[in-house]
Structure 1
Amino acid sequence: MIEFKVTGDYIPMIQLLKAANLVQTGGEAQIAVTEGEVMYNGQVDFRKRLKVKKGDKVEFRGETISVI
């Protein structure tokens, strides 16, 4: 599990995937989200600009990101 500390109120989903080093580029993150590869709090979510906040969990390619 990856613990990611968000500095503001939220971080957009595609930026989180990049910041956690799970994708190389923002374009790769956008494709992964639109193809349904990302789970947000237990459900597949297709929103690229989804505001991920403290307490949320994101699952992607076998990794879980816990936002703190």
Structure 2
Amino acid sequence: MTTQTQAFALLQGDEFVELYKVLKVLGLVNGGGEAKHVITEGQVTVNGDVDTRKRKKCVVGDMISFNDATIEIVPAQ
């Protein structure tokens, strides 16, 4: 089983993105409600630690893991 790494670029002018939005926008879940559920259930890690805050502010350099996906928050392009 291999882990895929994806980049999630912040929008121009944004300093952070909320954790549940990363999962939703990348299509790792079926919607915002499911994203919030898997986060509160402890299925998501941020920088190696379980984080149950749905609206956690993810910033450039943060690494998010869920299932077999790893996402790195990168600056706007």
Using structure 2 for the length normalisation, give the TM-score: 0.85
Structure 2 residue identity aligned to 1:5: A
Listed one character per residue, the Cα deviations across residues 4-52 of structure 1 (whole Å, up to 9, x for unaligned) are 1011111101111111110111000010001000000000000000000
Residues 1:30 and 2:36 are matched in the alignment: yes
Q: Distance in 1 between matches of 2:34 and 2:41?
A: 11
Structure 2 equivalent of residue 2 of structure 1: 6
Aligned residue among 4, 12, 18 for 2:24: 18
SS in 2 for 1:32: helix
Aligned residue among 37, 54, 73 for 1:48: 54
> Tell me, which stretches of 5 or more residues in structure 2 are unaligned?
none
SS in 2 for 1:55: coil
Dislocated runs of 4+, deviation >6 Å: none
Aligned length: 68
Larger Rg: 2
The CA RMSD over aligned residues, in Å, is 0.6
Structure 1 residue identity aligned to 2:69: E
Using structure 1 for the length normalisation, give the TM-score: 0.96
Structure 2 equivalent of residue 59 of structure 1: 65
